[in-house]
Amino acid sequence: MKREEAQEPGRADAGQAANEATGGADREPVPLAPDSLTWKYFGDLRGLLLISRVGTLQNMHPGVAAGVTQHSDLFKNPWNRLLRSIPPILGVIYDGAAAPGTGRTVRDFHRNIKGTDAHGRAYHALNPDIYYWAHATFFEGQIALQEFFGEPLTEEAKERLYRESMQWYALYGLTMQPVPPDYASFKQYWDRMLDEVLENTSITQWYFHPVDEHLPAPYPWLRGPLWLLLSPVVSRGSRWLAIGTLPPRLRDRLDLQWSAGDERRLRLLGTVVRTLWRAVPAPWGYMPRARKAFHRIARQKRSERSDASHGNDPKLRWG
């Protein structure tokens, strides 16, 4: 089984495709535009339905699992850890001109996460292969979300979304060396990772075979009777969704049971969510940081229209 060797991050010349997608290796990374597919899909609130799936895919990587086990409070309060990790990642997409700074901040969170994994191998969270794997799960998660609970994407849309993911990854300021040049290459990379790298780590064993079903409330205001009612539903429901939406080969590797009845219920849930979601007014179907970004863009457009209607358009004033 092939494994990555730990290495410190560095800058390397990106390939031609990566240069085209990111604006060039020698330029400041360009934030994603509000009309990008990534803006449309990544901040979708329905993504919370797949949060455990993404976490499972990430933590099946032995390097990621080691870092999380040794340097986070996942086992003390897993839901708080998962939920508080979302806003900074959203910021790399939705923070506009500030997105490159947000990306560097997120990257720097990982500078001191290093050690030895369960196999005795050195790892570093900023190892390009480890860091890119986490990013790859976020990209692929957008496709999976639309497949299970939205409108499945065309191959053309997937290719466009992938090229945007390259631009997004460049905002972290790391080497583009591990980044596949196009979506077809990414699918090969994805299959290789699933077949050769991912494994049943201590985190996946803990998550899918819990000793205690009752987990702490993610936030203090949720403590008490409300969380006592919600906790079993959240814990078992998210685990069921993770099992059902994982690639079947990983489900088999983890020895997780999934029946034909489970599959029917998952497809029914997908139909219900997909149907009801059409009635959710935009941008209320987005996570808070994404929603704020859409409101910001709307205000900017209103201001520009107002300036133009009153003859205050800078282009009119300055030629």
Mean pLDDT of the 298-318 span: 67
The string of pLDDT tens digits covering residues 8-44 is 343 334 444 454 444 444 578 999 999 999 999 999 9
Mean pLDDT of the 51-55 span: 96
Cα 285 versus chain centre, distance? 17
Q: What percent of the chain has pLDDT over 70?
A: 88
The string of pLDDT tens digits covering residues 284-301 is 999 999 999 999 999 998
Q: What is the DSSP letter of 197?
A: I
**Tokens found for residue 252:** 């088999």
Amino acid (one-letter) located at 152: P
pLDDT bucket at 65, cuts 50 / 70 / 90: very high
Report whether 223 contacts 82 (CB < 8 A): no
Query: What kind and span of H or E run contains 96?
Result: none
* Predicted pLDDT at 26: 56
Report the range of poorest mean pLDDT among 66-80, 98-112, 156-170.
Answer: 66-80
Report whether 157 contacts 40 (CB < 8 A): no
* Predicted pLDDT at 25: 47
φ/ψ of residue 116, rounded to 5: -125, 135
Q: What is the pTM of this model?
A: 0.88
Report the range of poorest mean pLDDT among 160-169, 250-259, 278-287.
Answer: 278-287
75-86: burial string, b at 16+ Cβ within 10 Å, e else:
eebbbbbbeeeb
44 forms beta bridges with 286
6-27: burial string, b at 16+ Cβ within 10 Å, e else:
beebeeeebbebbbebbeebee
* Predicted pLDDT at 316: 36
* Predicted pLDDT at 197: 98
Mean of the per-residue pLDDT values for the chain?
89
**Tokens found for residue 36:** 């990008």
- Enumerate the H helices of the chain as residue ranges: 16-22, 37-41, 51-59, 62-71, 78-84, 86-94, 99-109, 128-149, 155-170, 183-192, 202-208, 225-245, 248-253, 260-277, 288-309, 314-318
The string of pLDDT tens digits covering residues 205-257 is 999 998 877 889 999 999 999 999 999 889 999 999 999 999 999 999 999 99
* Three-state DSSP state, 210: coil
φ/ψ of residue 194, rounded to 5: -65, -35
Mean pLDDT of the 194-200 span: 98
Q: Which of 18, 26, 298 is nearest to 164 (CA)?
A: 18
Check whether 309 has a pLDDT greater than 80. no
pLDDT bucket at 314, cuts 50 / 70 / 90: very low
* Predicted pLDDT at 315: 43
Q: What percent of the chain has pLDDT over 90?
A: 78
Report the range of poorest mean pLDDT among 152-161, 224-233, 303-312.
Answer: 303-312
Q: Which of 99, 75, 81, 79 is nearest to 89 (CA)?
A: 99
